[in-house]
Amino acid sequence: MSHHVNVLEMARQQLAVAARYLDLDEGLHAVLARPKCQMIVNFPVVLDNGQVECFEGFRVQHNASRGPTKGGIRYHHDVDLDETTALAMWMTWKCAVVNIPYGGAKGSVRINVKKYSRREIEKLTRRFVSEITAIIGERADIPAPDIGTNEQVMAWIMDTFSMHAGHTTPGVVTGKPIALGGSEGRKEATGRGVIVAAEEAAKLCNIDLGNCSVVVQGFGNVGSVAAMLAERNGATVVGVSDARGAIYNPKGLPIAELYERYSGRDGGIQEYKDCERITNEELLALPCDVLIPSAIAAQIRGDNAGNVKAKMIVEGANGPTTPEADHILNDKGILCVPDILANAGGVVVSYFEWVQDLQNFFWEEGEVNNKLERIMRRSFHAVQAAMAEHKTDMRTAAHIIGVKRVADATMTRGIYP
């Protein structure tokens, strides 16, 4: 957690705001402010040098009223139980905002993946899945990729779970390679959804997305695809960054080239020469039309939100903006399309992948992308309508929709027994 922001406190504050608008029952509010299940595991892995190292991992399920829980697995050196719980809670609202039949979950292992070999990551993944196997499953809780994990890790998760089950179970995890029951369009889905949300938001801000400047923080799965699609649409991407730092060129950066030739190198995009090297903090304050934070949480805070010069922010990352920053951005008239709407494209296509796996019947990429786009636009318009109805900002409007759907489902099912 950067700058000691308690991300779970952030998520709870956002819930409390929506609860006030909805006049939510106090007891139900207390239920929704807590996760239904938190699993903490400590497990050993034999490293390549023969030594044993112990790792800490978490799987948190927040709410399952609307269906099985769903959420990514993160490998990051700085993750903890509170942050994993916040991410699970946001997943619950996100699935409800785009109206797909899931509750929210999240998993994580505290590890700096760069320090370990492929074989060590494979062993760690297989052992972690074995430790949480009692609570995941294709009808119970379905993991997916997040920071530090990718298609290969998802393949190991699927294989490990299947070995225990005694038969191949592709529906237990999404974001798999296409050859193993993955979906066309899944890898690009989050970034693609971010750009669809940006297109809709641009209409509200009178920005021409085909002729504007864009800054993207984070050049991983979400950030690189968002930057690439923005460039393809005609925008000039003037700044991008990764964990090492940021690069800037007001005339534009060649995103496809950065992705293909630089992102895989040891030095990453920093090795590109025709640019100015700046910090991630400076990147967030660059003059631009659209800022797309796509890295980690709590990047735009009370102490730096005043420096943001973008006309709108579209959150590819989860929780990049703190509640203090939200107030400042709202006062400055900067539209912020919140994470639980803007980056929902990933879980939407994960849902498509799961449906395809359960049916053993696979769709073409065009069909996936069209269905994704329709859901993103429909959800955006619903949130826009809630903004107008409740005269509030977009994050609160999205929470009002998400929390209401979950609260209604919880009460209609009834509290067991």
Nearest to 10 by CA among 327, 282, 244: 327
Among 241, 322, 369, 379, binds ligand NAD (CB under 6 A): 241
Q: Does 220 bind ligand NAD (CB under 6 A)?
A: yes
Among 343, 392, 396, 410, binds ligand NAD (CB under 6 A): 343
Nearest to 355 by CA among 94, 73, 100: 100
> Residue 22 or 342: which CB sits closer to ligand NAD?
342
Q: Does 156 bind ligand NAD (CB under 6 A)?
A: no
> Residue 245 or 408: which CB sits closer to ligand NAD?
245
Q: Does 239 bind ligand NAD (CB under 6 A)?
A: no
Among 71, 107, 143, 148, binds ligand NAD (CB under 6 A): 148
Q: Does 84 bind ligand NAD (CB under 6 A)?
A: no
Quick count: other Cβ atoms within 10 Å of Cβ 296? Answer: 23
Q: Does 125 bind ligand NAD (CB under 6 A)?
A: no
Amino acid at 152: Q
Among 174, 213, 221, 410, binds ligand NAD (CB under 6 A): 221
Nearest to 254 by CA among 223, 283, 228: 228
The stretches of 249-393 forming alpha helices (DSSP H) are 255-257, 280-284, 323-332, 339-342, 345-359, 365-390
> Residue 65 or 299: which CB sits closer to ligand NAD?
299
Instruction: Give me the least distance between CB of 267 and ligand NAD, in Å please.
Output: 12
Q: Position of tokens 């799961």?
A: 354
Name the residues annotated as catalytic.
106
On whether the CB atoms of residues 144 and 73 are closer than 8 A, the answer is yes
Instruction: Give me the least distance between CB of 387 and ligand NAD, in Å please.
Output: 22
Quick count: other Cβ atoms within 10 Å of Cβ 195? Answer: 28
Contacting ligand NAD within 157-216 (CB under 6 A): 190
Cα gap 220→75, rounded to integer Å: 13
Token pair, residue 372, equals 């994704």
Phi/psi for 120 (5° steps) reads -65, -40
Among 103, 181, 316, 338, binds ligand NAD (CB under 6 A): 316
CB proximity list for 408: less than 8 A, separation 6 or greater: none
377-412 in b/e form (b: 16+ CB < 10 A) is eebbebbbebbeeeebbbbbbbbbbbbbbbbebbee
Q: Could you give the string, one character per residue 248-287, with x where binding to ligand NAD holds by CB under 6 A and - elsewhere?
A: --------------------------------x-------
> Residue 171 or 320: which CB sits closer to ligand NAD?
320
Residue 1 three-state SS: coil
Instruction: Give me the least distance between CB of 72 and ligand NAD, in Å please.
Output: 6
Alpha carbons within 13 A on the beta-carbon side of 407: 20
Q: Does 296 bind ligand NAD (CB under 6 A)?
A: yes
> Residue 29 or 106: which CB sits closer to ligand NAD?
106
> Residue 22 or 107: which CB sits closer to ligand NAD?
107
Contacting ligand NAD within 345-404 (CB under 6 A): 346
Residues lying near ligand NAD in the complex (CB under 6 A) are found at 145-148, 190, 217-223, 241-243, 280, 294-296, 316-318, 343, 346
